[in-house]
């Protein structure tokens, strides 16, 4: 990446030598990103991140398919970048079916099958959830879409937001049968501000960024060469080190959850215990609110996240946790803990220690404990 | 994002819990976001002798309760009634606009408790 900022500084669209060096660097990175998901190099479109990839996929396919239908099937636990685009399209006349999840945080294939209509043009279902890590039945969804297509629904497409999954689990676009797949580089230790959309050969998108020939006319704008190079390298490392990273993260995550159960009472572990990503743990701490706990942990140098946040007196408990069918109070007390390759068992010990202190302090302060 | 006073009160909340022998208790909830403050006072000789609180909600709500108990202890009922949301926000060292509702809830809870006294 350093070389791309200094030596390989050319514009990949330029025909001079400096430009062609940059083009070669971008092409190498594109091969690595394609290899991560079993795609061909020319099926990868670099974007500014997962959000843009999701926007390009959903808007792009829906706007290109208006002659064939205006119905989208998605789930209630999608990332805001998918949810937001579907909401906008709904306001513009598309119909959106949002599939429920159940206590385990996983969509049921029967619900998807029942939701498909003759005018459905897009199924967009995330590979794995960003808050609770649950892995969705994307293989089955892809199979269902392929079946319908074979039966004559030629303009039905399948998009999966694999931002959380790519680099964390084995992802193969042909095995899943998706037409579009979103990725983000910073989920695999590359810089923020770079992502990619896999677009299966033959799938036509309505282009969102126009005014240049970059990315095979699918996304205009000079390429962010240093970030793309870093993404390529991160994708290579994620592919090569996937098994050991998964083993490392899941060992720490399981240790953490065991220690939390032993140390802290009245906790709810959110989402399926088995079908989930190895590095995420989502826990609700009863009687306290997630943001209060988050800031308390932050003061001790521990960075976590919560899906609930209040502003202007309007609290929206995480839609993902609410979709599990839990109470507002449980949804408000949810915290997501993420583990990465550089974390250690000592980190787990420290987090459990400061977490139990913070939970104890906040519960001592909570009027919700009075009634119990 | 938050002031030193804020983080100090968040890490070390003052005057927490229920107050044995309290003669004015109010328990107010923000119906929109679910934040809640419970304030217990011992009032005698027209003065707030002692104050304790419990709170559930976002960090500003927890901190507003703590700072409020410090501000009102030793004050006369009239002085406490004159306390405004801005006074509380100033004592905290400022709050982002979107978190001002926490100070509003604290002042509402104080006024509700003072109504019990009078």
Report the CATH number at residue A62: 3.40.640.10
For the question of whether the overall pTM of this predicted structure is more than 0.95, the answer is no
Contact assessment for residue B99 and residue A315, using Cβ atoms and an 8 Å cutoff: no
For B37, the token pair is 């403050």
Non-local CB neighbours of A357 within 8 Å, separated by 6+ positions:
none
Q: Would you call A62 a catalytic residue per the annotation?
A: no
Nearest to A288 by CA among B90, B35, B98: B35
* B34 to A370: CB separation less than 8 angstroms, yes or no: no
Same domain, A263 and A209: no
Non-local CB neighbours of A117 within 8 Å, separated by 6+ positions:
A69, A71
Nearest to A121 by CA among A86, A87, A162: A86
Q: What pLDDT score does A18 carry?
A: 87
Same domain, A233 and A251: no
Q: What pLDDT score does A312 carry?
A: 46
- Residues A206-229: tens digit of each pLDDT: 999 999 999 999 999 999 999 999
Q: Which residue has the tokens 């408990």?
A: A317
Q: What pLDDT score does A104 carry?
A: 97
Contacts of A311 in chain B (CB under 8 A): 98-99
Q: Look at residue B117 and tell me whether its pLDDT is greater than 90.
A: no
- Strands (E) in A258-348, as ranges, are 267-269, 280-285, 309-311, 314-316, 334-338
Nearest to A82 by CA among A197, A194, A199: A197
| ipTM of the complex as predicted | 0.92
| CATH C-level class of B4-117 | alpha beta
Q: What pLDDT score does A4 carry?
A: 74
Same domain, A18 and A151: yes
Q: What is the C-alpha to C-alpha distance for residues B86 and A205, in angstroms, rounded to an integer?
A: 53
Same domain, A128 and A259: no
Q: What pLDDT score does A314 carry?
A: 54
Same domain, A246 and A293: yes
Q: CA distances (Å), A276 to each of A218, A282, A290, A322, B82, in order? A: 33, 11, 22, 18, 54
Q: What pLDDT score does A234 carry?
A: 97
- Domain boundaries defined on chain B: 4-117
SS3 assignment, position A186 = helix
Q: What is the C-alpha to C-alpha distance for residues A140 and A146, in angstroms, rounded to an integer?
A: 10
Count of domains for chain A: 2
Mean pLDDT by 10 residues, chain A (372 residues): 77 89 94 98 98 98 95 97 97 97 97 97 98 97 96 94 96 97 96 97 93 92 94 97 97 98 97 97 96 92 82 69 93 95 97 97 93 57
Contact assessment for residue A136 and residue A127, using Cβ atoms and an 8 Å cutoff: yes
For A173, the token pair is 């676009």
Query: A328: nearest CA in chain B?
Result: B34
Q: How far is B50 from chain A (nearest CA, A)?
A: 17
Q: What is the DSSP letter of A286?
A: T
Same domain, A210 and A246: no
Q: Which of A290, A292, A327 to mutate to test the interface with B (most CBs of B within 10 A)?
A: A292
Q: What is the C-alpha to C-alpha distance for residues A321 and A319, in angstroms, rounded to an integer?
A: 6
> Closest to A291 (Cβ–Cβ): which among B11, B54, B58?
B58
Within 10 A of A105 (CB to CB), how many other CB atoms are there?
A: 26
Q: Indicate the residue among A195, A215, A237 that finishes a domain.
A: A237
Same domain, A204 and A116: yes
């Amino acid at each position: 990446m350093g070389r791309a900022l200094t030596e390989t500084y050319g514009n990949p669209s330029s025909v001079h030598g400096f430009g062609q060096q940059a083009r070669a660097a971008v092409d190498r990175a594109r091969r690595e990103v394609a290899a991560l998901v079993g795609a061909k190099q020319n099926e990868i479109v670099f974007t500014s991140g997962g959000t843009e990839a999701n926007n390009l996929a959903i808007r792009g396919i829906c706007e290109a398919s208006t002659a064939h239908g205006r119905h989208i099937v998605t789930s209630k636990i999608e990332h805001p970048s998918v949810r937001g685009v579907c909401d906008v399209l709904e306001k513009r006349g598309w119909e959106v079916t949002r599939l429920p999840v159940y206590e385990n945080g996983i969509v049921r294939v029967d619900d998807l099958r029942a939701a498909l209509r003759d005018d459905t043009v897009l199924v967009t279902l995330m590979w794995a959830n960003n808050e609770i890590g649950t892995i969705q039945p994307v293989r089955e969804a892809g199979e269902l879409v392929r079946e319908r297509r074979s039966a004559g629904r030629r303009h039905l497409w399948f998009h999966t937001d694999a931002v959380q999954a790519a680099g964390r689990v084995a992802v193969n676009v042909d095995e899943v049968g998706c037409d579009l797949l979103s990725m983000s580089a910073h989920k695999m230790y590359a810089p923020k501000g770079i992502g990619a959309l896999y677009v299966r050969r033959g799938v036509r998108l309505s282009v969102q960024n126009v005014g240049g020939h970059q990315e095979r006319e699918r996304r205009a704008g000079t390429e962010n060469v240093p970030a793309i190079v870093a993404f390529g390298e991160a994708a290579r490392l994620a592919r090569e080190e996937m098994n050991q990273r998964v083993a490392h993260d899941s060992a720490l995550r399981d240790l953490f959850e065991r220690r939390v159960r032993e140390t802290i009472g009245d906790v709810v572990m959110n989402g399926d215990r088995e079908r989930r990503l190895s590095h995420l743990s989502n826990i609700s701490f009863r009687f306290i609110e997630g943001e209060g706990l988050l800031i308390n942990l932050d003061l001790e140098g521990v960075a976590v996240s919560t899906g609930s946040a209040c502003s202007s007196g309007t609290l929206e408990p995480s839609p993902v946790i609410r979709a599990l069918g839990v109470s507002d109070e449980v949804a408000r007390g949810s915290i997501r803990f993420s583990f990465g390759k550089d974390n250690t068992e000592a980190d787990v010990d420290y987090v459990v220690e400061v977490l139990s202190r913070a939970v104890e302090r906040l519960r001592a302060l909570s009027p919700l404990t009075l009634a119990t | 994002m938050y002031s030193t006073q804020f983080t100090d009160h968040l890490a070390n909340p003052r005057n927490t819990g229920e107050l044995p022998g309290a003669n004015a208790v109010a328990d107010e909830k923000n119906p929109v976001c679910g934040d809640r403050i419970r304030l217990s006072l011992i009032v005698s000789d027209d003065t707030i002798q002692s104050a304790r609180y419990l709170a559930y909600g976002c960090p500003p709500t927890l901190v507003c309760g703590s700072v409020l108990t410090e501000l009102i202890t030793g004050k006369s009922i009239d002085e406490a009634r004159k306390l405004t949301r801005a006074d509380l926000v100033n004592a905290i060292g400022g709050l982002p606009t979107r978190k001002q509702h926490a100070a509003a809830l604290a002042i509402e809870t104080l006024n509700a408790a003072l109504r019990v006294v009078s």
